[in-house]
Amino acid sequence: MIADDALYTLRLATTDEDVTAAQRLRYEVFVAELGGDGPLVDHRHRLERDAFDAHFDHLILVDRRKPTGDLDHVVGAYRVLPGERRAAAGRFYSETEYDLAPLLGSGRKLLELGRSCVHRDHRGGTAMLHLWNGLADYVLRRGIEILFGVASFHGTQIDVLAEPLSYLHHHHLAPPEMRVTARPAHRQEMALVPRDALDRKTAMAATPALIKAYLRLGGFVGDGAWIDREFNTTDVCLVMDTGQMSARHRDFYIRKKAQR
């Protein structure tokens, strides 16, 4: 167990039932709410899943009031894949969309993040904070040096997303040694609005909360976005060096480590 309080238990999934409940939550968020789809989406049983699930650890936030048999006990989820499992999985999930050569050649300990979601009834409270705390603990215990993964803007209308994509490119582009690159087939250039014409307030208002959270931790984005029409998203690849976090957030991680 990673964390526990009166309402929630935060832990890694330990049973098939836990993983299935996380896939049910992902369906409700990514498919029912946001209109996504994919070859392994199970509409009959309301599950969003893929071939990578068996290789990932699933960090789950459990509502202690919910019985596990109904598959609605998982109200928050994150899936994480340590770099040493890449060979067994065949590749990282992100490699479908991005060339990860700078990270793969770095020799550093990697962790891929993905499928972060919280049930709509639990947003705006402490649920996401619990997930972030659990992720911090996971990173510290394993000595992870680089976090990365795709994060999504809802929709594929680039004219609507031009401002936030341009802002990310101009202000948060990863340094060359960490700069992953969107693959050509569905690549979308991000520098759509000149730097001096950007409105930061407008750009940030159109940027999902999860992406802004990574940026506050010192995260960067890769070169180019990737259009996922099947899943109805425009993706960016976020990369974060845990050794280069801002002092404030690095101290947060260190405090957690000292408390273990």
CB 20 within 8 A of CB 69: no
**From CA 14, how far away is CA 7, in angstroms rounded?**
20
* pLDDT band at 170; cut points 50, 70, 90: very high
**From CA 49, how far away is CA 39, in angstroms rounded?**
9
What are the residues whose beta carbons fall under 8 Å from the beta carbon of 157, sequence distance 6 or more? none
Query: 89-134, pLDDT tens digit by residue?
Result: 999 999 999 999 999 999 999 999 999 999 999 988 889 889 988 9
Global pTM reads 0.90
Q: Give CA 2 to chain center in angstroms.
A: 19
Query: 37-73, pLDDT tens digit by residue?
Result: 888 889 999 999 999 999 999 999 999 998 877 888 9
Phi (first) and psi of residue 142, to 5 degrees: -105, 0
CB 231 within 8 A of CB 30: yes
Q: What angle do CA 12, 116, 240 make, to 5 degrees?
A: 95
Instruction: Single out the residue of 44, 179, 33 nearest to residue 99, CA to CA.
Output: 179
How much is the pLDDT for 113?
Answer: 96
What are the residues whose beta carbons fall under 8 Å from the beta carbon of 251, sequence distance 6 or more? none
Domain that holds residue 102: 3-259
Q: Residue with structure tokens 């995260």?
A: 219
**From CA 112, how far away is CA 82, in angstroms rounded?**
6
**Per-residue tokens: 235:** 């993706």
Q: Indicate whether 82 pLDDT > 60.
A: yes
Instruction: Single out the residue of 162, 185, 172 nearest to residue 213, CA to CA.
Output: 172
Structural domain total, the chain: 1
* pLDDT band at 258; cut points 50, 70, 90: very low
CATH number of the domain enclosing 45: 3.40.630.30
Query: 194-243, pLDDT tens digit by residue?
Result: 999 999 999 999 999 889 988 988 899 999 999 999 888 999 999 999 88
